[in-house]
Structure 1
Amino acid sequence: MTTGLLKVSVVVPTYNSGEHLQQLFDSLLRQSMPATEFEVIVVDDGSTDDTPARLAEWAAAHPHVEVLRAEHSGWPSRPRNLGLARARGEYVQFVDDDDWLADEALARLYGYAVANGADIAIGKMTGHGRAVPRELFRVNRPDARLDDSPLIESLTCHKMFRRAFLLEHDLRFPEEHRKRLEDHHLVARAYLLSKRTCVLSDYTCYHHARRPDGGNLTASRMEPAGYYSSLREVLDIVDTHTEPGPLRDKLHRRWLRSEMIRRLRGARLLNAPRDWVDQVAAEVQKTVEERFTPAVAGRLPAVERTVAGLVAEGRVEDLLRLAEWDAGIRAKARLKAYELTGLTLTLMLSGQLHSNDQPVSYAPSDGRYRLVVPIDDVPAELLDCTAELGRARLDVIARHDTQHDEFFLPVHFEVDRVVGPAGELQLRYRGTAMVDFGTLNGGRTQGEWILKARISGCGWTLDAKLPLAVSCAADGARPVVVDKRKKKAPAKPPQPRPGGWRRLARAVRRRLGLARPQAVRLS
């Protein structure tokens, strides 16, 4: 066992993981932080397969690895608490057994936490079959607060916590049998007690994965009554630490949107058993009526506000009809032109949100605009999206094809308001983005890259792949760009008039506050 002062304790709960542990094992052995500076505590929740043998072999070969054996609890809370009780590091990093860490994750995140005096440090996450809070990781946040950042969108426990902070406030995971949202219970309270929380976004630290076999400690379908009972306990935590007002409403809005409305939208609703849908709708209706002020739903985007309004009135059939339409919403993007100059790729593109090949539209009425939906008798205030139209945005994303590292690119965009054939308003997005493959991901660019347009507006944030295949033979190498719209070898891409790209690039850099292509900063 490792002795002396430790910087980080990595706590891993596991159960019947077998060969799925290998990727995590390998990532922990590749850490740039010396093995003498961190420990790994794996808590086996009574596995009945070959997991104990694998863990014993690993611990025997690596002195900084310790394995604890516990009686089967069926949930990750108790194993995590046992690992925390055993930990000796200055900070504790929780990792699930089907996830893994990037090679420099512990060193970078620990250094960032210490430099900022943080009680909690959150490393950028990327998802492999799982959703992650993308907007939180748009920029580095040395002092992220609940009232001025999307911090509340990240409620999994896969973070680095100062151990003294956890002990001071007796922060533990709830150990009641199979309590859902166990992460939320600890993390919500931790956020509300933390003196400083920082977010490291310029390096992907945590790879959050869904097992190929679909198995993990919390993979079963949730039981609505128990799930929402636990959710209301999390709301109690929020209410204990906040006063009535905008901050409490903002925090409540997170659970309304993510744990209630999203379950009652689109394909997720359509693919669920009807009796389960009825149970969820009843629990959501109860929670909205008993726990939320009108301002909680009132500040949602129009489509989400409409779902909340329908469920509050018990209109499940209308929810299903709305879901059929919502499931058909797609982001469509058109690559208008591109040019590669040295290591810098410049893109011109346009896009729009469509439903069943028709643009999403907004009906004018008395100087205001309402989202057009295929449901009758929806109150106008639920559909009013006048203010939201001004918050529509276009992003361009570079995503590594295998590692799934994802980066927002510098982009200048405009959203045009176009009048449709029936007098309805439609939004058309257009923009210009630049990506410097000399600085992207800190110069770690080897491999294939996917470029995507991300269109946001009125309750949707959807991606559309751009038809370019981009590959770098080595880190910092000049990318090879293939236009996938062309059947043969790539020909010369569309070109503006002579000198046009240089003028365009200069104009874009001025709008983005950039001096030269090689000075583009990506994060």
Structure 2
Amino acid sequence: MSTPDISVIIGAYNAMPYLTKTLTSVVGQSIGRDRLEIITVNDGSTDGTGRELERFAAEYPGLFQVFHQENSGGPSAPRNKGLDHARGRFVFFLDADDYLGEEALERMLAMAEKNKTDVVLGKMVGVNGRGAPASMFLRNQPRTDVFSSRVYWALNPLKLIRRELIERHELRFPLGYKTCEDQLFTGMLYLKADGISVVADYDCLYIVKRDDGGNITTTTRGAESRIHVLELMVDLIEKHVPAGPDRDGLMNRHLSIDMFHALIHLAREADPELQQKNYEQLAALLERSYPDSLKAKVNAITRLRCELIQRRMLQETIELEKIDRGYRSTGVQPGVLVEGDRAYTLLPFFRDAERGIPDDIYDVTTALQDRHRLDSVTVDGGVLKMTGHAYLRRVPQDTTTTELVLRERGSKTEHRFPTTALATPDLGGSEEDGGKYRYPTAGFSAEIDLTSAADGSRLPKGLWDVLVVVRVQDVVKEIRFGHRRLPAVQAAPQTYVLADGEEKFAAALYYTHPYSNLTLDIGENLHKIADKLHVDGVRWSSSASAQLEVSGSWKLAGVPASALGVRLQSDSGTAVTTPVTARGEHGFTANMSVDGLAPGTWAVSLWLPSQHGQGWSMPVPFQPALKNTRWYRRGLPWYAAATKHSNLVLRVSRVEIVKAGVKRLRAVMNA
């Protein structure tokens, strides 16, 4: 029996009617059923789940394994049973109410095999109002880990996992938990994995919010089990990750998400003794595992929660959760106060003399959220012109100013330029925070003369990243600019030939990969002028045998076609250039007479002049179909022939009549 590539493991409890779509999505995978096995476990369902599993097994013989067992009370036991029977090189855990994109398993397996990684996350999409992790799916990540990416913020097991990794570390899901049990399993996998991949350019997994509210995470009540798993995860991290930034990064996830969820249930607890007991558990956890370095890393509301818990301010903690529930239900977050060089979020109890919470708990100076957009960008007559907007979210506009910065990537040399304010009366509106905050003066325009941008001189050769700086009083936020832009903004690189007096120079606007930020390439570091010139064909004119016709196209912005020419250059350095004639938007032709050229070899190239004989030359490739040609000059025969070089080189010479006659005579005699 051959080894399947992937074992899909599905535990199911009262999963109808969602289960049908789940199973259909698996059997329809583009990878092919011959590379799969599907292991399903009916965990004591009382609806038609068991019958549906058997129906699919009968319809696809040899593909399914179906197990029936008494209800275990949670997803761990069914998943463990699936692992006990899995034979695939990889396993994929799928919940019975979720479903896969058609190419999901094929794409994830290809990512794992290409990059030799043990775990692959596929992009998740929420259905029917269910939230889905998003921060780790901004772009494909061929090979990463939990410390240099956001993958740890998705601790569910709904991933492609190399089975050998699971068996080597003897990993199984812990029993006795209805929620959060997957964190211990997935967390250990992450820490032990030899590489993690992320497929972000395809919707792999659709996670469904059930209409009947039957998702186990929404039906399980109480804070106690959540706090217990939180304690276990903290222990796991402290055991396997040394103290420092890496540990703080993982701990941040648990305090920001898991402690938050525990507090939601703690605030609803009807038993005051149990509520106080759970609260003390959290306080004890923070006393041992909340260093100052982590305090500086978490966001402001998490920092406030931790401060209240450490001060044993239970009623304020409950009040904060009620207020935060309002933030989340309305989508309106509290405003930001800027004083000098610091910014504070106006969460509850800020500067409340009775509570005495220090200002630094509310400090968001380094975590201010910005919003920005590039609306237009071009280079016109050597001037870089841009429009767009930039602002700090929930910060009043009264004292906000912006400036544009060009920073050379290698040397870090930078030049700063003022902007002109543009009115944006509709900005804010209902886009965020229910329209509570408006940004009517966040627009700007900027014009930078590239011939004088460097303190009166031309901007030097280099890759100049474009940044926008937003300043509010003494608070400064620097924004790498361009990845958010209007659809009308040209996304393809635009290469220009610009004039600085009589001298020409090259500039290109392009967007970086993978972050898609705007950069200005001065001096052909990555974008060559010659690469934008293309020859479509070369032939001898049918009406004038000594006339060479060259046709082609060019993809340059900011330079007229009349500046381009076709040049013939001899070994001695003599050059003859013929201007091209524009044909359509990007095409051109040139008709060059070779009559009158001195005998010798002449290289053919496209030529874009600059100054003092300098410029850009793109050799015309050798043309195998170009035949020899003849013509008469002052009654004597001449010829031109393409010599066998990688580029087109013409040999021009007078026909030697005697040799030609002898050659013809020999041909006749040998006939």
Give your verdict on TM over 0.5. yes
- For the residues of structure 2 that align with 1:372 and 1:274, how far apart are their CA atoms? 32
Contact 2:9–2:94 (8 Å) recurs in 1: yes
- The change in CA–CA distance for 1:124 and 1:288 in structure 2 (over 3 A counts) is same
Contact 2:491–2:510 (8 Å) recurs in 1: no
1:260-275 aligned at under 5 Å gives the runs 260-261=259-260, 264=263, 275=272
State the 1:282 CA deviation.
Answer: 3.6
> Are residues 1:392 and 2:365 paired?
no
1:342-353 aligned at under 5 Å gives the runs none
Contact 1:32–1:104 (8 Å) recurs in 2: yes
Name the residue aligned to 1:476: none
Q: Which residue of 13, 17, 20 corresponds with 1:19? A: 17
- The change in CA–CA distance for 1:53 and 1:121 in structure 2 (over 3 A counts) is same
Moved more, 367-376 or 97-106: 367-376
Contact 1:59–1:66 (8 Å) recurs in 2: yes
- For the residues of structure 2 that align with 1:261 and 1:32, how far apart are their CA atoms? 39
CA offset digits 1:61-95 (Å, max 9, x no partner): 11211101223211111111111111111110000
Name the residue aligned to 1:490: none
> Are residues 1:155 and 2:130 paired?
no
State the 1:313 CA deviation.
Answer: 1.3
Pairs aligned (count): 408
Give the SS at the match of 1:82: helix
> Are residues 1:61 and 2:59 paired?
yes
TM-score, scaled to structure 2: 0.54
- For the residues of structure 2 that align with 1:395 and 1:193, how far apart are their CA atoms? 40
Counterpart of 1:289, as a letter, is E
- The change in CA–CA distance for 1:253 and 1:61 in structure 2 (over 3 A counts) is same
Counterpart of 1:143, as a letter, is R
Name the residue aligned to 1:73: 72
1:373-392 aligned at under 5 Å gives the runs 373-375=347-349, 376=352, 377-389=356-368, 392=370
CA offset digits 1:160-185 (Å, max 9, x no partner): 0011111111121112x236421101
- For the residues of structure 1 that align with 2:192 and 2:367, how far apart are their CA atoms? 33
Q: Which residue of 342, 347, 352 corresponds with 1:368? A: 342
Name the residue aligned to 1:230: 229
Name the residue aligned to 1:439: none
- The change in CA–CA distance for 1:412 and 1:191 in structure 2 (over 3 A counts) is farther
Contact 1:75–1:218 (8 Å) recurs in 2: no
Counterpart of 1:104, as a letter, is E
Contact 2:121–2:159 (8 Å) recurs in 1: yes
1:116-131 aligned at under 5 Å gives the runs 116-128=115-127, 129-131=129-131
> Are residues 1:190 and 2:189 paired?
yes
Per residue, is there more helix in 1 or in 2? 1
- For the residues of structure 2 that align with 1:229 and 1:328, how far apart are their CA atoms? 27
Counterpart of 2:347, as a letter, is V
Contact 1:122–1:200 (8 Å) recurs in 2: yes
State the 1:189 CA deviation.
Answer: 0.5
Contact 1:412–1:508 (8 Å) recurs in 2: no
- For the residues of structure 1 that align with 2:322 and 2:46, how far apart are their CA atoms? 43
- For the residues of structure 2 that align with 1:209 and 1:179, how far apart are their CA atoms? 18
- The change in CA–CA distance for 1:163 and 1:502 in structure 2 (over 3 A counts) is closer
Name the residue aligned to 2:489: 505
Instruction: Give the unaligned 5+ runs of structure 1.
Output: 333-352, 397-410, 429-451, 457-461, 465-500
Per residue, is there more strand in 1 or in 2? 2
> Are residues 1:110 and 2:94 paired?
no
Name the residue aligned to 1:477: none
> Are residues 1:31 and 2:41 paired?
no
Moved more, 53-62 or 276-285: 276-285
Give the SS at the match of 1:126: strand
- The change in CA–CA distance for 1:309 and 1:200 in structure 2 (over 3 A counts) is same
Name the residue aligned to 2:138: 138
* Root mean square deviation of aligned Cα: 3.9
Give the SS at the match of 1:143: strand
Name the residue aligned to 2:5: 7
Moved more, 380-389 or 182-191: 380-389
- For the residues of structure 2 that align with 1:103 and 1:503, how far apart are their CA atoms? 29
CA offset digits 1:246-269 (Å, max 9, x no partner): 11121111111101135547xx88
State the 1:231 CA deviation.
Answer: 2.0
- For the residues of structure 1 that align with 2:64 and 2:227, how far apart are their CA atoms? 37
Give the SS at the match of 2:143: coil
State the 1:329 CA deviation.
Answer: 4.1
Contact 2:237–2:247 (8 Å) recurs in 1: yes
State the 1:314 CA deviation.
Answer: 2.1
- The change in CA–CA distance for 1:74 and 1:419 in structure 2 (over 3 A counts) is closer
Percent identity of equivalent pairs: 29
Give the SS at the match of 1:108: helix
- The change in CA–CA distance for 1:453 and 1:253 in structure 2 (over 3 A counts) is farther
- For the residues of structure 2 that align with 1:288 and 1:383, how far apart are their CA atoms? 18
Structure label with greater radius of gyration: 2
- For the residues of structure 1 that align with 2:395 and 2:113, how far apart are their CA atoms? 54
- For the residues of structure 1 that align with 2:394 and 2:180, how far apart are their CA atoms? 44
> Are residues 1:414 and 2:412 paired?
no
- For the residues of structure 2 that align with 1:308 and 1:508, how far apart are their CA atoms? 48
Name the residue aligned to 1:319: 317
- The change in CA–CA distance for 1:454 and 1:282 in structure 2 (over 3 A counts) is farther
Higher relative CO (Cα under 8 Å, sequence separation at least 6) belongs to 1
- The change in CA–CA distance for 1:66 and 1:453 in structure 2 (over 3 A counts) is farther
Counterpart of 1:54, as a letter, is E
- For the residues of structure 2 that align with 1:503 and 1:30, how far apart are their CA atoms? 35
Instruction: Give the unaligned 5+ runs of structure 2.
Output: 375-386, 403-428, 439-484, 495-507, 518-671
State the 1:198 CA deviation.
Answer: 0.4
Contact 2:335–2:394 (8 Å) recurs in 1: no
